[in-house]
Amino acid sequence: MEMQWEKLLTSQRLGVDSLDGDGIRTEYYRDYDRIVFSASFRRLARKTQVHPLSFNDHIHNRLTHSIEVSSVGRSLGLAVGIKIQDKLPNDITAVDFSSIIQAACIAHDIGNPPFGHAGEYAIRQWFTENVHLLDSSLTEAQKSDLMSFEGNAQGFRIVSQLENHYKNGGLQLTYATLGALIKYPWQSNNKLTEEKGKFNVFQTEVNVFNKVVDKVGLLSLENNVYARHPLAYLMEAADDICYKILDVEDALELNLLRMDDVVPIFKKLANEPKINDIGESFSARKRIVKFRAKVIDNLIREVVDIFYNNYQDIMSGRFEGDLISKITGECKEGINEIKEITSKNIFSNRRKIELEVGSYSSIEIILNVFISAVNDKIKNGEKYSFKSKRILDLMQNDLPSGECSAYEYYMSITDFVSGMTDNYATFIAKQISGSAK
């Protein structure tokens, strides 16, 4: 049994009964525009990609990373779309195909908290260490959502629930784009979450997820796990290509790596051992451009071939792993060397570690105060303390109104905290501690 492109590429929208196109843009271009003009996307400009609170303006943040991933995703989609055009519905062009991937790529990091992955780990750790403070009404699955907090699941929550049309489809994207955005089609309490450390569905979005599964026709595998949407593999590959290459570019900018360390690896990744360097008289920033372009071009070609050669397994849900991991030869050697050099020289850098440790403290301070305040409200209703009220007033309209469960209150706090920029989270933590100027 295979998934069918007619359903996978549907232009139907979440939360909308009928399409109201403007006659200019395709539905998939409209998805891209809705994401780009959202407040959550705009905040990515002040969120860490790899290096927290960097003062160097050339260093990637989540916003510039997302834009670059969408560019690579568009190229991947166009190349694959052309290659499998005969398998696509008659009304779907290769440009439509690539537009869906581009939209999914631009949204792929929209749910990431401040301070990069350190912020994600900090939220998980706080809830794991303080689960005893949570209201007794929470189910095990709801506790799992908080203790395993995941930026991918938060991203799906933002685009499908929180932005624009609150709890009525969010950005009201097409089911095709939503399907392509879901890299880990299972819930937090699934055994795969423990194995991979990733999932895409909080309990708050189970019904939305089930709608997406039904509309795009994802295959059920086992234990509430579904096959990925085929375009999710291409979205993931675009992300992999960008962060593998551009992490190195940032490291060169910060003098964590030297060109002599990088050039031999990039030649392997480009499958072009005779690339000419423009010369040592130029800065690393200028010298790396030519190598980077060659590498990205070659990796795109490699991924396109792997997708095509594994087409049947992808469409039937039998494909395992990711596309980049199937690359072979010298290019594979280059990928392994990139992992080694980034682990040794970038992720173990002392300054980066110091800032990440500081980010744990900021997240801990914020969650301590906000969870305490909301627990006061849950326990005492409108008789909760003035201090708790003032703390929750900082959330303004982000705090649910009317009747809602303790779990919904806790999720609103993770929405608020994960939506913070690096600078704002640092400021709020200092303000709470009484040390802000």
Domains of the chain with CATH codes: 5-113+141-230 (1.10.3210.10), 238-345 (1.10.3410.10), 350-433 (no CATH)
**What percentage of residues in the chain have a pLDDT greater than 70?**
91
pLDDT band at 347 (very low <50, low <70, confident <90, very high): low
Q: Tally Cβ neighbours within 10 Å of residue 94.
A: 17
Average pLDDT estimate for 116-122: 87
> What pLDDT is stored for residue 267 in this prediction?
86
Residue 123 scores a pLDDT above 90: yes
Q: Tally Cβ neighbours within 10 Å of residue 107.
A: 31
Question: How far apart, in whole angstroms, are the C-alpha atoms of residue 354 and residue 360?
Answer: 10
> What pLDDT is stored for residue 250 in this prediction?
78
Half-sphere exposure at residue 149, Cβ-oriented, CA atoms within 13 angstroms: 26
Residue 282 scores a pLDDT above 70: no
**What percentage of residues in the chain have a pLDDT greater than 90?**
59
> What pLDDT is stored for residue 435 in this prediction?
67
> What pLDDT is stored for residue 341 in this prediction?
82
Residue 93 scores a pLDDT above 90: yes
> What pLDDT is stored for residue 348 in this prediction?
55
> What pLDDT is stored for residue 276 in this prediction?
72
* Backbone dihedral angles phi then psi of residue 222, each to the nearest 5 degrees: -160, 155
Residue 81 scores a pLDDT above 90: yes
Average pLDDT estimate for 88-114: 94
- Cα 123 off chain centre by: 16
Q: What letter represents residue 382's amino acid?
A: E
Residue 248 scores a pLDDT above 90: no
* Cβ neighbours for 304, distance < 8 A, ≥ 6 positions apart: 76, 79, 80, 83
> What pLDDT is stored for residue 403 in this prediction?
81
Both structure tokens of 78: 């166009």
> What pLDDT is stored for residue 49 in this prediction?
62
Residue 349 scores a pLDDT above 60: no
Both structure tokens of 242: 């960008």
> What pLDDT is stored for residue 151 in this prediction?
94
Residue 53 scores a pLDDT above 70: no
Higher local confidence (pLDDT), 380 or 48: 380
Query: Which string of DSSP letters, residue by residue, matches 71-113?
Result: HHHHHHHHHHHHHTGGGS-TT--HHHHHHHHHHHHHHTTTT--
Question: 235 — alpha (psi -120 to 50), left (phi > 0) or beta?
Answer: alpha
Question: How far apart, in whole angstroms, are the C-alpha atoms of residue 398 and residue 408?
Answer: 11
Residue 205 scores a pLDDT above 90: yes
Distances (CA, A) of 368 to 324, 361, 422: 40, 10, 18
- Residue tagged 């890299």 (tokens): 183
pLDDT in tens, 126-139: 999 999 999 999 99
State the average pLDDT for the chain.
88
pLDDT in tens, 168-190: 899 999 999 999 999 999 999 99
Question: How far apart, in whole angstroms, are the C-alpha atoms of residue 404 and residue 358?
Answer: 33
Average pLDDT estimate for 242-254: 80
pLDDT band at 354 (very low <50, low <70, confident <90, very high): low
> What pLDDT is stored for residue 343 in this prediction?
73
What angle do helix axes 406-418 and 350-380 make, rounded to 10 degrees? 150
